[in-house]
Structure 1
Amino acid sequence: MLNALNPLSKLAVCAIWLAASVLIFDAWFQIAAILLVWLVLIVFQRTSPLVLLALMVPFCLFGLGFLTTSVLFRQESDFAVQVASETPFGSRAFSAGVNLFLRAIACGMISTFFALTTDPGAFVRALMAYAKLPPRIGYSLFAVMQLVPDLAAEAQQMRFARAMKSGRAPRRIPGPFEAVSLVIPLLAFGIRRAGRTAIAMEARGLATGTPRTLTNVPKFSVRDAAFVAIALAILGSLTVATGR
């Protein structure tokens, strides 16, 4: 259901929600935003809660930095202290840190919503069709999308070749020395692919600036209007509720 929406509709909604999470310095608003996006991804996208927890680990570590800085070093801003003094989380320093911690997770959850519900290829095509993204940049992004899995496959082949040569089964997760030894070969593989991609793009006339035909461009529909209206209505309700 969410995958069928136009990527630009989801981008606009996520941008508005991110701006609200940054500007509204209220812990209850951040908690409500986190739980709401969490439930939407689990119910409508069928995303595993464990996957969401794993994706939130970097944002939790980032928010933990705000929390420890606020509590241990007392480096919170005046605005954060002023707002934190009105919230029931204990001391002003701890309350300000909790607000910053929750804001980092809320922003991460909203970003995760867009990433999990949007096809990268459809997003690039929508940008090229509606936002006038230059074809050279668009097709470069398509090339990168193909390069990333190819790099992983190339690294796996190198590991299998080395395991066959040494007569030992490859480890499931490469060790630090093995990972470092793969950097130079993968860098050479990436440089060769980049050169071939540049030649292919120039051969297709991407440097001339002539208009091009796009296929499989995501269309706007009634579902996009309903999604934007519901998302903005929920955001307005949360803003009013937390403001009170």
Structure 2
Amino acid sequence: MLSALHPLGKLVVCMIWIAAAVLIFDARFQIATIVIAALALIVLDRTSPVLVLALMIPFALFGFGFLTTSVLFRQESNFALRMAGESLLASPAFSAGITLFLRAIACGMVSALFALTTDPGAFVRTLMVHWRLSPQIGYSLFSAMQLVPDLAAEAQQIRLARAMKRGRPPRRFPGPFEMFRLVIPLLAFAIRRAGRAAIAMEARGLTPGAPRTVIAAPRFRRRDLAFIAIALTALVLCISWARSRG
């Protein structure tokens, strides 16, 4: 369901939620943001709960640095201590650290919600239509999106060819020396692809200011307006709940 929504509508909503998570220094609001983002992924987009929990790990590790800094090294700001002093937790330093820890997870989960439910190609086409993204930049992004998976496939083909030459199966994960040997062939492959992409872009006549038609660009629909209204209403309710509980 979320994947069918307009990318710009989701982008604006996610930016507003992230801004609110940054500005509102309240652990309750951060928890509500994490829960809503996780439920949206699991219920509306059919994302595996295991994947959602796995996505929280890097953001939790990043937020753990804020927690240790606040608790162990006492480097929190006066604003954080003043806001944390209003919390129900006994130690203002610990309260500030927990809030910063939850803020990192909340911002990360909102970002993950947008990234997992948005098609990159549709997002670039939308930027070209609605936000006047330069065609040169747009088609360069399209080329990069096609190049990245092709690089992985080319690297695997090179590893298989070298393994057949040695007469033994390749390792599941390449070692440091093998990765170093892959740099030159992959660089040559990327240069060839870049040359072909440049010729293709020149053939398309990507001159600045020329009229251009973008095919299959997403359009705003009623469901997008309903999503924006529901998301902003939920944001207001979460802010009110966090303030009333505080």
Q: Identify the TM-score tier after normalising by the shorter chain.
A: over 0.9
Alignment of 1:96-175 (within 5 A): 96-175=96-175
Q: Deviations over 1:6-42 (max 9, x none)?
A: 1010001001001001101100100011011101110
| Percent pairwise identity | 68
Shift in Å, 1:224: 0.5
Q: Deviations over 1:173-193 (max 9, x none)?
A: 222222232223222222222
For 1:228, give the aligned amino acid: I
Distance 2:60 2:187 in 1: 32
Give the direction of change, closer, same or farther, for the CA distance of 1:182–1:53 in structure 2 (3 Å limit). farther
For 1:179, give the aligned amino acid: M
Distance 2:90 2:180 in 1: 47
Distance 1:158 1:11 in 2: 39
For 1:35, give the aligned amino acid: V
Q: Between Structure 1 and Structure 2, how many residues are aligned?
A: 244
Where in structure 1 are there 5+ consecutive unaligned residues?
none
For 1:78, give the aligned amino acid: N
Distance 2:208 2:132 in 1: 16
Q: 1:91 corresponds to which residue?
A: 91
Q: 2:187 corresponds to which residue?
A: 187
For 2:70, give the aligned amino acid: S
For 2:106, give the aligned amino acid: A
Give the direction of change, closer, same or farther, for the CA distance of 1:208–1:24 in structure 2 (3 Å limit). closer
Q: 2:196 corresponds to which residue?
A: 196
Q: 1:73 corresponds to which residue?
A: 73
Shift in Å, 1:53: 2.0
Alignment of 1:225-236 (within 5 A): 225-236=225-236
For 1:70, give the aligned amino acid: S
Structure 1-normalised TM-score? 0.96
SS at 2:76's partner residue?
coil
SS at 2:171's partner residue?
coil
Shift in Å, 1:208: 4.4
Q: In the alignment, is residue 54 of structure 1 matched against residue 54 of structure 2?
A: yes
Structure 2-normalised TM-score? 0.95
The alignment yields a C-alpha RMSD, in angstroms, of: 1.2
Q: 1:206 corresponds to which residue?
A: 206
Give the direction of change, closer, same or farther, for the CA distance of 1:34–1:158 in structure 2 (3 Å limit). same
Distance 1:188 1:22 in 2: 44
Q: In the alignment, is residue 240 of structure 1 matched against residue 240 of structure 2?
A: yes
Distance 1:185 1:34 in 2: 43
For 1:131, give the aligned amino acid: W
Q: 1:10 corresponds to which residue?
A: 10
Distance 1:221 1:211 in 2: 25
For 1:117, give the aligned amino acid: T
